[in-house]
Structure 1
Amino acid sequence: MSDGTWRIDRLTGSIGAQLSGLDVRRAGSADTARLRELVTEHGVLFLRGQPADPAALADFAALLGDALPAHPLKHGLPDHPEVLANQTGNVRPQDTRCRDAHNRHGTNWHVDGTFVREVPTYSLLQAARVPQVGGDTLFADLAGAYAALSPPLRTLADGLSCRHDVRRLYAEWLAPDADPLQRERLLAMPLVSHPLVAVDHGADGRRSLILNPNCVTTIEGLSDLEGHTLLELFMHHALVPERTVRWRWAVGDIAVWDNVRLLHNYVLDHGTSDRLIHRALAGSRPLTGVSSKSHEIAPTSDMPYSR
């Protein structure tokens, strides 16, 4: 499909499209509305052949919303504090051993930043160094998953909320030999509660399951057995191939997606080869459920991503 000087090619029957004809260095505020519309329509956009420049990535992210710090608990690049460097390499056999069905040593299916009250709206990744083979990133459509639930399960999900605890994600920071400053910062982060189903009022009320195995600890009001069983059911439902897209990186490629709507994960199959991906985040908001909003469970004086 042609969109003026842009070309949009769908990648699957559900989510994902490649956007051609846009140089992010020349993108401006006049492009913002159309870019947001395309992300809303396709979930995730991929742009080939962009300059592998953290400054250009940060500027492009800022078109979509207010720039956010790179991470609540990690430092960004020295010259670009809003850009996080995700470097992986020397993948060992033990790194691919599963902690559970959705988590391994260095990667997991997740939504960025659900462990804070105001969740990032847009996530962007750009490839700076890529292995010759492997290291792809996967995306799964949580809005499509919600829409495909049977009516009784949709009704059940609409009324539930989950606790999100960053300490599940960074449990190793609590080890006796861990950095004490990291430990202190981690312990200062609050638990937060988000609805299991988020309503996007900017997308005609589209509803998405909010599933994040790296920090969801429980469904409120349910026993551990009930909560775990339901979360596993929803995850398996979300990860059917028909609701996913897979991207093979080349240096300079950018992916931009609706962070609330999509799970993402990367594949630890590149062995000892190096892989460096830069990340930026834009916009943030509390998640609104069918009948509830996100809230903190414990107070804190430092609210990363808050506005």
Structure 2
Amino acid sequence: MSEPQWTVDRLTGSIGAQVSRLDVRRIGPADVNRLKELISEHGVLFLRSQPTDPAVLVEFAARFARVLPAHPLKPGLPDHPEVLANETGGVTPDDVRCRDAHNRHGTNWHVDCTFVRDVPTYSLLQAARVPPVGGDTLFADLAGAYTALSEPLRVLADGLSCLHHARRLFADWLTPGADPVGRDRLLSLPVVRHPLVAVDRRAAGRRSLVLNPNYASTIEGLSDLEGHTLLDLFMHHALVPERTVRWRWAVGDIAVWDNVRLLHNYVLDHGAGDRTIYRALAGCGPLSGVTGCKSQVIAQATPLPLDP
């Protein structure tokens, strides 16, 4: 397939583009390079009507970089260990009760897998089953959020680092009666330090805030009050509507995006309807900060609060 057969349509004034007339099974190296350029430009791409075979998703992900295991803590599909199946259905009123400003039970704004040192580079989702209504996925631009900060806040953020750990999200795995295998796997993961601002050398040094309510617990060198207040400020700033895009799924749709640059979330508004979304991850590496610092593993025994 050659690029002129494609059409690329922007979806908002900030992020997101739909790529039409592209079959992910029939692309060459030049096509992949162009897709990477488009991801750098738009943050996230959406491709309609692709085959829903997990093997096709894995092959497409491998065009971007080495495909990773489905999840550091969760198993993938039996025949495709690189693919995580996110299955939801039967949403109840309690499921959509707000727990805090950014999280709900079962859905939340996040970046994939920042509780490891080598953060995934590309994330891919594909809709295998969609409800009659609802279940959209939202994306927010952390690079645009950084650029739009006032200069004093940019300077402050440039010099800060944040601790990330899986125990924050998976705290219920440590309760009495929880699966001992999952508990041991969770406890074996170290705490990781990431810069609060990541520099993308592939995109002329573009800077992005590194925010993740799932795993980021505190800012080093600040009190809990200071750190939590500052993280909340940055999150509220990142989630203004002008820095977001919303995607309504149809079966076969694929979304591929820069995992470090974008937060994403899905909307629990589909009631009893079932929803199955496949996920694959490709490429990984430590994040580089403005001052030259990089992501580091911290001693596992470091005591950290589970909640702000």
What TM-score range do you get, normalising by the shorter chain?
Answer: over 0.9
Match in the other structure for 1:228: 228
String of CA shifts for 1:203-229, please: whole Å, max 9, x gaps. Answer: 000000000001111000000000011
Match in the other structure for 2:284: 284
String of CA shifts for 1:245-303, please: whole Å, max 9, x gaps. Answer: 00000000000000000000000000111000000000001000011111011269xxx
Q: What is the rounded CA distance, in whole Å, between the counterparts of 1:299 and 1:87 in structure 2?
A: 31
Match in the other structure for 2:156: 156
- Aligned-pair CA distance for 1:128: 0.2
Letter in 1 for 2:119: V
Match in the other structure for 1:298: 299
Letter in 2 for 1:147: T
Match in the other structure for 2:49: 49
Match in the other structure for 1:117: 117
Q: What is the rounded CA distance, in whole Å, between the counterparts of 1:11 and 1:3 in structure 2?
A: 20
Aligned partner of residue 22 in structure 2, secondary structure: coil
Aligned partner of residue 217 in structure 2, secondary structure: strand
Aligned partner of residue 226 in structure 2, secondary structure: helix
Q: What is the rounded CA distance, in whole Å, between the counterparts of 2:279 and 2:13 in structure 1?
A: 27
Q: What is the rounded CA distance, in whole Å, between the counterparts of 1:248 and 1:142 in structure 2?
A: 21
Residue 155 of structure 2 is aligned to residue 169 of structure 1 = no
Aligned partner of residue 77 in structure 2, secondary structure: coil
String of CA shifts for 1:60-116, please: whole Å, max 9, x gaps. Answer: 000000010000011111111101000011111111122211111101000001000
Q: What is the rounded CA distance, in whole Å, between the counterparts of 1:177 and 1:111 in structure 2?
A: 29
What TM-score results when the alignment is normalised by the length of structure 2?
0.95
Q: What is the rounded CA distance, in whole Å, between the counterparts of 1:94 and 1:177 in structure 2?
A: 23
Letter in 2 for 1:14: S
Asked whether the equivalents of residues 3 and 31 of structure 2 are also in contact (C-alpha less than 8 Å), the reply is no
Match in the other structure for 1:210: 210
Q: What is the rounded CA distance, in whole Å, between the counterparts of 1:191 and 1:288 in structure 2?
A: 17
Aligned partner of residue 121 in structure 2, secondary structure: strand
What TM-score results when the alignment is normalised by the length of structure 1?
0.96
Aligned partner of residue 114 in structure 1, secondary structure: coil
Structure 1: gaps (5+ residues): 301-307
Q: What is the rounded CA distance, in whole Å, between the counterparts of 1:177 and 1:29 in structure 2?
A: 50
Q: What is the rounded CA distance, in whole Å, between the counterparts of 2:300 and 2:103 in structure 1?
A: 29
Asked whether the equivalents of residues 140 and 244 of structure 2 are also in contact (C-alpha less than 8 Å), the reply is yes
Match in the other structure for 1:188: 188
Letter in 2 for 1:199: V
Q: What is the rounded CA distance, in whole Å, between the counterparts of 1:298 and 1:78 in structure 2?
A: 33
Match in the other structure for 1:303: none
Q: What is the rounded CA distance, in whole Å, between the counterparts of 1:175 and 1:215 in structure 2?
A: 18
Superposition RMSD in Å: 1.2
Letter in 2 for 1:296: V
- Aligned-pair CA distance for 1:30: 3.2
Letter in 2 for 1:94: D
Q: What is the rounded CA distance, in whole Å, between the counterparts of 1:160 and 1:266 in structure 2?
A: 29
Number of residues paired by the alignment?
299
Q: What is the rounded CA distance, in whole Å, between the counterparts of 1:153 and 1:252 in structure 2?
A: 41
- Aligned-pair CA distance for 1:28: 2.8
Match in the other structure for 2:305: none
Match in the other structure for 2:304: none
Match in the other structure for 2:72: 72
Letter in 1 for 2:132: Q
* Aligned sequence identity (%): 76
- Aligned-pair CA distance for 1:29: 2.7
Q: What is the rounded CA distance, in whole Å, between the counterparts of 1:296 and 1:150 in structure 2?
A: 31
Letter in 1 for 2:299: A
Residue 26 of structure 2 is aligned to residue 26 of structure 1 = yes
Which stretch of the first structure deviates more once superposed, 99-108 or 151-160?
99-108
Q: What is the rounded CA distance, in whole Å, between the counterparts of 2:214 and 2:30 in structure 1?
A: 37
Q: What is the rounded CA distance, in whole Å, between the counterparts of 1:32 and 1:225 in structure 2?
A: 45
Letter in 2 for 1:96: V
Structure 2: gaps (5+ residues): 302-308
